[in-house]
Structure 1
Amino acid sequence: MTDTPASFADDLDLALRLADRADEISSARFRSRDLHVDTKPDRTHVTEADLAVERALREELASERPEDGILGEEYGTEGDAHRQWIIDPIDGTANYLRGVPVWGTLIALAVDGVQVVGVVSSPALGKRWWAATGAGAWTRDAAGAEPRPLRVSGVADLEHASISFQSIAQWDEAGYLDRLIALTRSVWRDRAYGDMWSYMLLAEGVLDAVGEFGVKTYDLAALIPIVEEAGGVFTSVTGTPGPGNGSSLASNGLLHPALLDALA
């Protein structure tokens, strides 16, 4: 464990233990032939593993932090929002149910609406990333491996940038497809790596920017501390901070003004 400000050290430790529990549950059902899948009212999928992970984390939080509130993708909001744990039990459910290894559990703590702890755990990739305000951002490549610090890239010009746009359909539905196409013509490289992995590649300095639409608070809350503690900037596509704006634009910071201009 890396040094963490005393105010959030216990919270980060708890979040990492919650991630261990989530990994046990999700890994056991990944690529199972009898995995049960339902369709939610918004036409997205939910698996038995999504539900089991969130139930387990809620039970742990009820025991460890009974005064704190919880916001989860599958079971909604409960408790006080002053200190709120935000859970996406399996980010990348479509990948999970198809057997694609790009998925993970997202766990965040927000205090008065500010994300101060974030953990992203991707057992199928053998990776975990985490951060707490003032403690930097960290990753490890396998269980028991030595943590290493994260730092965003130093790319300062769009013509040298590598970006991830997540999904053409998202940008088309949001009315931004023409601007996305124009942006891809001005950068060095564009790909759609998808879900939480794009943002973690940004924090590692491998990508330079990520943009996305159709996202909810639980999709982004855990990512924000990691990107920001790695030196990046995280806003909506229109430049508004926070995870509840329906879109995201994360970058190494140096490129953020140019990206906002390109998408305006």
Structure 2
Amino acid sequence: MRVAHDDDLRFAHVLADDADAQTLSRFRAEDLRIETKDDDTPVTDADRETEEAIRRTLSRARPRDSIVGEEFGTDGYSARRWVIDPIDGTKNYVRGVPVWATLIALMVEDKVMAGVVSAPALNRRWWAARGSGAWTGRSLSAASRCRVSDVASLAEASLSYSDLEEWESRGALPRFLDLTRACRRTRAYGDFWSYMLLADGAVDIATEPELALHDVAALIPIVEEAGGTFTDLAGKPAAYGAGAVATNGRFHDEVLAYLSAG
């Protein structure tokens, strides 16, 4: 049975292939150019050149679609929007840590219909389209299905996050620490990696207090098609909400209760 947006998902893989070639060619390059943006986060020539390359391909192949990118903002006003993060994990990228990825998502109206997460330095890729499941592998033809864990209680759960500073800066560190104490294990795998480990069934909770649309869009369908639950901190759809909470679905409300407690 043909699933809606299969063609878009295949096209997203083409975009990811090109992005992988671009990002890998600059990873650990001695002449990598690094600047600091207004929000005090790093950006490299690889970030910008990769997003520019994706935009050029989209303008040729999907000229009626709009584009939302981390580095160059929004172009167009179509109900179909491609959401791009050329390098999620730029801080890792500039330090030579191989945990970074290109995130590519297609939104129709306000719903994410397909997503690809490509981490070439890890030799891993994850993807999903609505109704077709979540998958990981080197290509569409060499893939295995992603499924969240069956861990049934918070007391047995493994939690992944990015860092403590973000929770502290928002006055939410005590609530977050209470959650960590309720779990069996915590690790700061960070960025996209937390959510892909969740989709793989390797961790059971991934959460962050603030994410932009380009940070989260591609992650949502992969987690949900793997059987997980993905919301913001208030339990609402995550694409435009405050922060992110993703779980295997078994104790999602319990996690939300910790993070929203007064």
State the TM-score, normalizing by the size of structure 2: 0.97
| Cα deviation, residue 237, structure 1 | 1.3
Map 1:75-224 onto structure 2 (within 5 A).
Answer: 75-140=72-137, 142=138, 146-224=142-220
Matched, 1:26 2:23: yes
| Cα deviation, residue 143, structure 1 | 5.7
- In structure 2, C-alpha distance between the alignment counterparts of 1:143 and 1:262, rounded to whole Å: 39
CA contact (8 A) 1:136 1:229 kept: yes
| Cα deviation, residue 12, structure 1 | 0.4
Aligned amino acid, residue 185 of structure 1: R
Q: What is residue 254 of structure 1 aligned with on the other side?
A: 250
Aligned amino acid, residue 242 of structure 1: A
Aligned amino acid, residue 147 of structure 2: R
| Cα deviation, residue 74, structure 1 | 0.3
50, 55, 58: which one pairs with 1:53? 50
Question: Which stretch shifts more, 202-211 or 243-252?
Answer: 243-252
CA contact (8 A) 1:152 1:252 kept: yes
- 1:136-163 Cα offsets, whole Å, 9 max, x none, are 00001x4687200000011121100000
CA contact (8 A) 1:171 1:213 kept: yes
CA contact (8 A) 2:128 2:222 kept: yes
- In structure 1, C-alpha distance between the alignment counterparts of 2:95 and 2:67, rounded to whole Å: 29
Q: What is the RMSD of the two structures over their aligned residues, measured on CA atoms?
A: 1.2
CA contact (8 A) 1:4 1:134 kept: no
State the TM-score, normalizing by the size of structure 1: 0.96
- In structure 2, C-alpha distance between the alignment counterparts of 1:157 and 1:143, rounded to whole Å: 34
CA contact (8 A) 2:234 2:242 kept: no
CA contact (8 A) 2:64 2:78 kept: no
CA contact (8 A) 2:228 2:246 kept: yes
CA contact (8 A) 1:95 1:102 kept: yes
Instruction: Please list every run of 5 or more consecutive structure 1 residues that lacks an aligned counterpart in the other structure.
Output: none
Aligned amino acid, residue 233 of structure 1: T
Instruction: Please list every run of 5 or more consecutive structure 2 residues that lacks an aligned counterpart in the other structure.
Output: none
Aligned amino acid, residue 96 of structure 1: Y
| Cα deviation, residue 214, structure 1 | 2.7
Count of residue pairs the alignment pairs up: 260
Q: What is residue 35 of structure 2 aligned with on the other side?
A: 38
CA contact (8 A) 1:4 1:132 kept: no
